[in-house]
Amino acid sequence: MSGWRVCVYCASTLAGSVNKEDRLLNYLDALGLTHETLRPANYCEIGCRLGYSLALSRVPAIGIDPDYEIKVALTAPTRLFNTTSDSFFARDDVAQILGAPIDLAFIDGLHLVEFALRDFMNLEKHASPDSVIVIDDLLPQHMDYASRQRNTTIWTGDVYRLIPILRHYRPDLDIRVYDVDMKGFGLVTRLDPSSNVLTANYGAIEADILAGKWSFPTVAAIRDHMQPRATDLLANDLGIVAAQRAAKGSMQSDRRAAPALSQRRPRLSVIICAYEMAREAPRTILSATAPYQKGLRSDEYEVIVVDNGSSTPLTYDNLPPNVQIVRAPDPRQSPVFALNWAAREIAKGEILLFAIDGARIFSERLIEETVKAHDRMEDAFVFSLAWHIGPKVQLESVPEGYGAEIEDGLIRAARWPDEADGLFGISVLAGSSSNGFFGDITESNSFSISRTSFDRHGGFDERFTSPGGGLANLEIFRRYVTRPDARNVCLLSEGTFHQVHDSVATSGKNRWEAFAGEYEAIFGGPYLRPSYHCFYQGKPRAGMVPFILQSLQG
Ligand SMILES: C[S@@+](CC[C@H](N)C(=O)[O-])C[C@H]1O[C@@H](n2cnc3c(N)ncnc32)[C@H](O)[C@@H]1O
């Protein structure tokens, strides 16, 4: 390692040549903020070189580097280990050195992915579930910087490949990458020191790495996978982690509170697909989150809005902490790929709730009732009915002049969202739900399954390539409600409300024939309505009563 020089990033920061107000957040700022916000009990750094990042620690620290040459004052009690990280962890007893599990760690050693992976594995093993691991060098600005051979002054190496590996093997981890100046900054929480997954798969992972897997051809493709968060979200995100750590610490004397507060992984992931929905998606997001959405704490579920290639990327002011908007990596006209991708690569919940159409507003306890249904019945398929806002189903109302402006007026007059039930009064049951609560419906715009079921019975069928997915949502509904030993649960108090937009299914452009043709071409036979049994969850609220009566008469 004798060829190492002063890290160019540190050099520019320390030279003070750039006005702090003008420059972007760099990795030392980000790491400093992490120390200040988390106030860790101790700190472990892999790769300390001249000591610039190590000097940020104010708590007992260890630095591991076979070639360090500390040039700055280290104010915290620090022990330096002149060795590689692999031999350090093989030989030294971290718990004995620190007297406690590692609380905050920084990976900035050898910039090759398999080394960074082993660093992560070793650190996690010696950490606690509440510890935090920071990873440097995840967003190379040029592919030259990302090569495995160092050819440039700036060199991130292929450390970025660690993220797809972790996202694949360890969906239980919370991994966030920030757009920190020049090289990115990764924050990993929800650690599980007892996890054996990476160790058990290490041989295969290393072989895959050497065969070129988990790499991307361009900087844009790397960024697409990383979905870096804006740096101004870092302070807020760290604040949440700090609050969770504090809650966990203060909880130890109150064992009864422990299970709820120590919930480390969201129970449920809501996955919403949106395409060109600048008007509709903000209402959907509002309806999926607190304070509108009632009954669950926001750390008990997450909302993933997948923007499936909108011409202007979807944005939302003051995005709540449990919501992320991600761009589908390879957007296609059918949303099925984006939904499956988000379920496999992004979602962390053990329950997956799918909303194929991001224009659907949720009723206010839909998420709580969904979780309750899953709690009551193992391996359940939980679904809700759908409504269309307006006087008629939109396939009929749109040709007669119904549109966004009329709908906005109706929603305002219904005093939504202040009157959460107001939407029932201005909506009709969607065509696919027209058989009501006690007949068989054909699809749901909010259905949920366990991740185990998703893996066993499959997600959306990716052979549906039609715009909007064609009959993909009907097919998956049919597949789940009719599977052997199906345990179907219909929510009796909750539903979704479709806002009019330019969707192929409801904007008057009835493409049923083309969609049915696609279905037949895939399955070799026509689509047939499913017939199934179901259980019910929840008490109908006042706004729902007319529809229950309609269903009984139906
Ligand atoms: C980019 S520098 C670290 C810079 C430092 N974190 C900072 O920001 O001031 C990378 C360091 O990793 C060290 N390194 C290389 N291979 C290593 C290994 N196997 N284990 C630990 N450190 C290693 C190098 O000697 C080098 O000093």
Pocket test for ligand 1, best of 6, 85, 86, 110 (most atoms within 8 A of CB): 110
The CA 3 to ligand 1 mean position distance, Å, reads 11
pTM beyond 0.75, yes or no = no
> What residue's CA is closest to ligand 1, atom 15?
110
Distances (CA, A) of 287 to 241, 367, 428: 25, 10, 19
> What residue's CA is closest to ligand 1, atom 6?
48
The CA 68 to ligand 1 mean position distance, Å, reads 7
As a whole number, mean pLDDT of residues 33-49 equals: 95
Among 42-46, 77-81, 368-372, 405-409, whose mean pLDDT is lowest?
77-81
The CA 200 to ligand 1 mean position distance, Å, reads 27
Q: Cα(550)–Cα(359) distance, rounded to whole angstroms?
A: 25
Q: Cα(186)–Cα(175) distance, rounded to whole angstroms?
A: 7
Pocket test for ligand 1, best of 4, 113, 159 (most atoms within 8 A of CB): 4
Nearest one of 120, 225, 137 to 184, comparing CA atoms: 137
Neighbours of 471 (CB within 10 A): 26
Query: 93-145: per-residue pLDDT in tens?
Result: 888 888 899 999 999 999 999 999 999 999 999 999 999 999 999 999 999 99
Residue 506's pLDDT is what? 55
Instruction: Select, from the ranges 13-22, 169-178, 302-311, 473-482, the one with the highest average predicted confidence (pLDDT).
Output: 473-482
> What residue's CA is closest to ligand 1, atom 27?
49
As a whole number, mean pLDDT of residues 225-242 equals: 89
Task: Give yes or no for residue 49 CB within 6 A of ligand 1.
Answer: yes
Task: Give yes or no for residue 4 CB within 6 A of ligand 1.
Answer: yes
Distances (CA, A) of 91 to 62, 85, 167, 307, 422: 15, 10, 29, 48, 65
Under the phi-then-psi rule, with left for phi > 0, alpha for psi from -120 to 50, and beta for the rest, what region is 460?
beta
Tell me the backbone φ, ψ of residue 462, rounded to 5 degrees: -80, 5
Strands (E) in 356-443, as ranges, are: 360-362, 381-389, 427-429
As a whole number, mean pLDDT of residues 467-479 equals: 96
Classify residue 15 by its DSSP letter. H
Is pLDDT of 14 > 50? no
- Kindly indicate the confidence band of residue 7, based on its pLDDT and cuts at 50, 70 and 90: very low
The CA 85 to ligand 1 mean position distance, Å, reads 9
> CB-side exposure of 116: number of CA atoms within 13 Å?
27
> What residue's CA is closest to ligand 1, atom 14?
109
Residue 284's pLDDT is what? 97
As a whole number, mean pLDDT of residues 5-24 equals: 34
Q: Which two tokens stand for residue 220?
A: 């844009």
Query: 326-368: per-residue pLDDT in tens?
Result: 888 888 999 999 999 999 888 889 999 999 999 999 999 999 9
Q: Cα(162)–Cα(164) distance, rounded to whole angstroms?
A: 6
Dump the DSSP string for 341-370: HIIIII---SEEEEES-TTEEEPTTHHHHH
Domains and CATH numbers, the chain: 19-239 (3.40.50.150), 266-553 (3.90.550.10)
Task: Give yes or no for residue 66 CB within 6 A of ligand 1.
Answer: yes
Q: Cα(351)–Cα(450) distance, rounded to whole angstroms?
A: 4
The CA 4 to ligand 1 mean position distance, Å, reads 9
Task: Give yes or no for residue 118 CB within 6 A of ligand 1.
Answer: no
Which atom of ligand 1 is least distant from the CA of 119?
20
Dump the DSSP string for 465-491: -SGGGTTHHHHHHHHHHTSTT--EEEE
Task: Give yes or no for residue 295 CB within 6 A of ligand 1.
Answer: no
The CA 7 to ligand 1 mean position distance, Å, reads 10
